[in-house]
């Protein structure tokens, strides 16, 4: 089939590479416009745009996919199907109707669970044992289209959102190519999603990522892992923001009040409403990320230090 791939961030690159290496003819790539990046805020192409240019594939960067000029350019490419991974914009009906077989999205959850922008983060935060990826035909409703295929992935106890998303991006790329193969052969039929089991996964804000030390240790652990690497879990010490990496629950250490900090020789513990947690990496405002013990030695915390 002639395909035009749509995607933007780094997590979409494995699928782009898998399609480029498949028997399907990759005739174009759609991505978000160049955006400011780095200290100089220089306009920079998306990771997908950069990879497409390396592959020598034409790149379209519409401000919005409803733009008539974009739709004209897409129509000229004569795509049979448009596979999508984390493109970042809603596709209007006028664009959905251009490819013969529609737009096929790779979504990082087992639909209908966790429809929305942050399925991996919400799955971790909820304490799910399993998650996965789903390919489905895009319709004019949030992640509600009929499903072509599913893969599953066990969530590991130490997974951050970044760890889990990286595995799903690799495994999901094979699922997406297999879905395109099945559509091309006429052997794959999409099935409507069940009406039961729908849950939503809206984007996680910076404020959502603030650690609540009054939660149980398991809640603190899940929030931090779900928000790593982005938007980044954080707390405050003396009104200064401190970013936190993944933590470890110290079972049986329950004598610390919520937020209270205890510094050991090579570790830092913080109290929750249940057991304490051991800090991993810490990044204070204006400082480099470092191990918690090194951070604590540098700031010379008093015995009464407490995260808020």
* DSSP H stretches of helix in 127-216: 161-185
What's the predicted TM-score (pTM) here?
0.94
**Side by side, which strands form the sheet with 130-137?**
59-60, 25-30, 2-7, 82-85, 103-107, 130-137, 147-154
pLDDT value at residue 265 = 86
Q: What is the average pLDDT value for the chain, to the nearest integer?
A: 96
pLDDT value at residue 37 = 80
pLDDT value at residue 112 = 98
In whole angstroms, give the CA distance from residue 241 to residue 51.
36
In whole angstroms, give the CA distance from residue 173 to residue 62.
24
Q: Which residues contact 246 (CB under 8 A, 6 or more apart)?
A: 158, 160, 221, 224, 225, 228, 280, 281
Q: At what angle do helices 217-226 and 119-126 cross, to 10 degrees?
A: 170
pLDDT value at residue 148 = 98
- All structural domains of the chain, each given as residue ranges with its CATH number in brackets, are 2-185 (3.40.50.170), 217-299 (3.10.25.10)
For residue range 152-186, list pLDDT tens digits in order. 999 999 999 999 999 999 999 999 999 999 999 99
Q: Which residues contact 244 (CB under 8 A, 6 or more apart)?
A: 211, 224, 233, 234, 235, 279, 280, 281, 282, 283
In whole angstroms, give the CA distance from residue 293 to residue 149.
46
What parts of the chain have a pLDDT lower than 70?
none
For residue range 186-240, list pLDDT tens digits in order. 989 999 999 999 999 999 999 999 999 999 999 999 999 999 999 999 999 999 9
pLDDT value at residue 173 = 98
pLDDT value at residue 109 = 98
């Amino acid at each position: 089939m002639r395909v035009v791939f749509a995607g933007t961030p780094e997590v979409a690159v494995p699928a782009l590479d898998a399609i480029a290496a498949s028997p399907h003819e990759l005739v174009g790539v759609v991505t978000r416009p160049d955006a400011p990046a780095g200290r100089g805020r220089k306009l920079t192409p998306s990771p997908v745009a950069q990879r497409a240019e390396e592959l020598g594939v034409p790149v379209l960067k519409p401000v919005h996919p409803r733009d008539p000029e974009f739709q004209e350019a897409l129509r000229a490419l004569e795509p049979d199907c448009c596979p999508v991974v984390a493109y970042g914009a809603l596709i209007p009906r006028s664009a959905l109707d251009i490819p013969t077989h529609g737009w096929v999205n790779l979504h990082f959850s087992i639909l209908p669970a966790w429809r929305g922008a942050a399925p991996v983060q919400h799955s971790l935060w909820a304490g799910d044992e399993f998650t996965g990826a789903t390919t489905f035909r895009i319709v004019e409703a949030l992640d509600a289209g009929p499903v072509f295929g599913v893969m599953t992935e066990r969530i590991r106890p130490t997974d951050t959102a970044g760890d889990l998303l990286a595995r799903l991006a690799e495994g999901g790329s094979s699922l997406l190519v297999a879905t395109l193969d099945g559509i091309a052969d006429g052997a794959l039929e999409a099935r409507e999603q069940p009406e039961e089991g729908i849950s939503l996964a809206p984007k996680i804000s910076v404020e959502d990522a603030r650690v609540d030390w009054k939660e149980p240790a398991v809640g603190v652990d899940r929030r931090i892992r779900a928000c790593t690497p982005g938007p980044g879990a954080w707390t405050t010490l003396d009104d200064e923001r401190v970013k936190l990496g993944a933590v470890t629950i110290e079972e049986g250490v329950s004598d610390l009040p919520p937020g209270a900090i205890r510094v050991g020789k090579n570790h830092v513990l913080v109290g929750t409403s249940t057991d304490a947690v051991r800090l991993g990496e810490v990044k204070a405002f204006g400082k480099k990320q470092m191990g918690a013990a090194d951070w604590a030695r540098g700031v010379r915390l008093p015995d009464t230090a407490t995260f808020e």
